[in-house]
Amino acid sequence: MREHGGNLDLAQQRFGGRAEDWIDLSTGINRLPYPVSEVSARAWSALPSRAEIEALHQAAGHAYRTGAPIVALGGAQAAIQLLPQLVPPGRARIFAPTYNEYAGVLSAAGWEVQEVGELGALPGADLAIVVNPNNPDGRRSAPQDLLALLPRVGRLVIDESFADAVPQLSLAPQANQAGLLVLRSFGKFYGLAGLRLGFAIGHAADIGRLAAMSGPWPVSGAAIEIGCRALRDEAWAEAASARLARDCARLDEMASSQGWRLIGGTPLFRLYQTRDALAAQEKLARGQIWPRVFAQQPTWLRLGLPGGEAEWTRLAEGLAR
């Protein structure tokens, strides 16, 4: 198992409590989720029909402002798992540091993986990976700079798992080009990571192959039903984006008063430079708040946004200890 946020198991082992007692800020999952409300009996019982899956693709195209071919998958992670079957092994370059599953999955499949710190070092790769905006440091790449890479790499994967609230960064509208593949996560912005829903958007040939590899029923009936509802709800998305922007400013201010320096972030998480991230983690964990730390970067602390006033209060108390 690679190290991930959301590892509350570890928090509970070390500091006790039930999962539901903790405020898990170790992920970039929105803590004020889209309301699930009713799930129909049919969504639980029946195999999803082609028409239902097609309606989900339409809703995703609407939300992501694209007419490009789309396939629903069990999270952006499911698309990452399929990459080694989509492209024959070769040299991959990953714009790093970033989400560690890319290097892990590709290395395990026999790829030569190189992590690079500049977009300019990606050309020449058989497969280039850019997470935009990036996790964990929030680094942003301009869409035109990414498109300029396209003729210079075998395949360009843009992971837009954190792009919902910064749609101007998205290449989804231009994804219908050979060699370009855009990945979207549903669960983070909509706060429903347990649903396991994400999308790959790209050229028809790639999307057709991903669809064939993932089979006739790649996502659950609940994912289809809730996904269709949420992806069509523009008012909710606008309100969530506005609230997250306000909350980022509020969290940055609290961090600043701790002497932490903002390295970067997205509307769903913030990355701070601290004197000692493990000490900060331990202080917060005593109040059952779980931040993300990074083994390779002992000063980095990543925090998701608290989900309501009670959580903000607990965070303020945790920081004041």
Choosing from 2, 38, 144, 235, the residue that interacts with a second copy (CB under 8 A) is 2
Choosing from 120, 151, 215, 308, the residue that interacts with a second copy (CB under 8 A) is 215
Q: What's the closest the beta carbon of residue 117 comes to a second copy, in angstroms?
A: 26
Q: What's the closest the beta carbon of residue 178 comes to a second copy, in angstroms?
A: 21
Choosing from 16, 107, 142, 217, the residue that interacts with a second copy (CB under 8 A) is 217
- Indicate the SS3 state at residue 200: strand
Q: How far apart are alpha carbons 88 and 90 in whole angstroms?
A: 7
Residue 137 backbone phi and psi in degrees, to 5: -100, 0
Q: How far apart are alpha carbons 133 and 54 in whole angstroms?
A: 28
Q: Which is nearer to a second copy, 105 or 153 (CB)?
A: 105
Q: What's the closest the beta carbon of residue 246 comes to a second copy, in angstroms?
A: 21
Q: What's the closest the beta carbon of residue 5 comes to a second copy, in angstroms?
A: 8
Q: Which is nearer to a second copy, 260 or 306 (CB)?
A: 306
Closest CA to 119 of 158, 83, 77, 149: 149
Q: Which is nearer to a second copy, 128 or 219 (CB)?
A: 219
CB 227 within 8 A of CB 59: yes
DSSP 220: -
Q: Angle 309-320/277-285 helices, nearest 10 degrees? A: 120
Q: Which is nearer to a second copy, 10 or 316 (CB)?
A: 10
Specify whether the backbone of 259 is left (phi greater than 0), alpha (psi in -120 to 50) or beta.
Answer: left
Q: What's the closest the beta carbon of residue 49 comes to a second copy, in angstroms?
A: 5
Stretch that binds a second copy, among 56-64, 100-108, 120-128, 148-156 (CB under 8 A): 100-108
| Interface size with a second copy, residues (CB under 8 A) | 57
- Single-letter amino acid, residue 31: R
> By CB under 8 A, is residue 1 in contact with a second copy?
yes
Q: Burial, 150: exposed, middle or buried (Cβ in 10 Å; 0-12, 13-18, 19+)?
A: middle
Q: Angle 101-108/76-86 helices, nearest 10 degrees? A: 30
Q: What's the closest the beta carbon of residue 28 comes to a second copy, in angstroms?
A: 11
Q: Which is nearer to a second copy, 146 or 222 (CB)?
A: 222
CB 155 within 8 A of CB 122: no
- Per-residue binding string, a second copy, 118-147, x by CB under 8 A, is ------------------------------
**Residue-by-residue DSSP string for 244-275:** HHHHHHHHHHHHHHTTPEEEEEETTEEEEE-S
Stretch that binds a second copy, among 171-179, 214-222, 252-260, 271-279 (CB under 8 A): 214-222
Stretch that binds a second copy, among 19-27, 160-168, 170-178, 240-248 (CB under 8 A): 19-27
Contacts to a second copy from residues 173-212, by CB under 8 A: 187, 191-196, 212
Other Cβ atoms closer than 10 A to 116: 14
**Residue-by-residue DSSP string for 146-167:** HHHHGGGSSEEEEE-TT-TT-G
Contacts to a second copy from residues 29-88, by CB under 8 A: 29, 31, 33, 36, 39-51, 74-75, 77-78, 80-81, 85
**Chain residues that interact with a second copy, rule: CB under 8 A:** 1-2, 4, 6-9, 19-20, 24, 27, 29, 31, 33, 36, 39-51, 74-75, 77-78, 80-81, 85, 101, 105, 108, 187, 191-196, 212-223
